[in-house]
Amino acid sequence: RPSRPSRVPFRFIVSFDGTFTITTNTAADAAQLLLVADFLKKLKAGIQSIICPANSNLIWECEIKTLKVNGSDPQRNRLLRSRRSVELTQVVIEFEIIIQAICADSACTDAERVGNILYTSANGDLKAALQDGTFVSGLKADLSMSSSVDDILDTAGLTWNFDELEIPLLKLSKLWYPDWNSGEIRCSNDGKAPNFMTIDGGWWHGSSKEDCCTKYFVWAY
């Protein structure tokens, strides 16, 4: 987890999906990787340590969710996953990366800049670790696997692709929120919603003024 400042900072959500592909020499090699205990867990931890470094001053929280493994639910047991992949020479893992990023003020006016920095850095750092071999060496050390599995990883091709960056806050700036700070009974869409509303990804917001007012001020609307 990244080191934290003494006070709770203003935050917003940055998210993007990614696909991590391991291309092996044979289908048997791919199936063997899926049978290794904690392989996916350690792989995800290795990716997270690069995308969300502990010394980052732009990250408050970071979570990586495994969505699919070779098109299947990651909760399927390892034996079922390996059987399904018996004809495949690839292990394809789909992830979702969700970052609570730190912004400069309550309106997070620097959200787009910070989001782009995190996205570009994550993409570049992970690809660099794949190219120079540090990712594979770290994964092997973390798993303490057999020499045969080490050989599979040494000869496999590892690639990573990111989908587009998502910053929900930028979409929320045009939506309506209960403007309690105004001292009036009203909803606003000025992009100045309190941080606790924006960090929840839009729960507080309405798509129209009427939608917002009937939700929060029904007794006066």
Structure tokens at 4: 């934290």
DSSP state for residue 171 in the 8-state scheme: H
CA 25 to chain centre: 29
Q: How many CB atoms lie within 10 A of CB 141?
A: 10
Cα 47 to Cα 20, 60, 81, 186, 212, distances in angstroms: 9, 17, 21, 45, 40
Q: What is the pLDDT averaged over residues 202-215?
A: 83
**For all residues of the chain together, what is the average pLDDT?**
84
Evaluate if residue 7 carries a pLDDT over 70: no
Q: Which residue has the higher pLDDT, 149 or 95?
A: 95
Evaluate if residue 134 carries a pLDDT over 90: yes
Residues 6+ apart with CB under 8 A from 28: none
Evaluate if residue 52 carries a pLDDT over 60: yes
Helix (H) or strand (E) holding 96: strand 90-103
3-state secondary structure (DSSP) of residue 120: helix
Dump pLDDT digits (tens) for 55-94.
Answer: 899 999 999 999 998 888 877 666 555 555 556 888 999 9
Residues 6+ apart with CB under 8 A from 61: 1, 2, 99, 100
Q: How many CB atoms lie within 10 A of CB 122?
A: 24
Instruction: Write down the pTM of the prediction.
Output: 0.72
Confidence of residue 175 (pLDDT cuts 50, 70, 90): confident
Nearest to 170 by CA among 111, 210, 214: 111
**pLDDT for 202:** 65
**pLDDT for 44:** 92
Helix (H) or strand (E) holding 45: helix 39-51
Structure tokens at 95: 């992830």
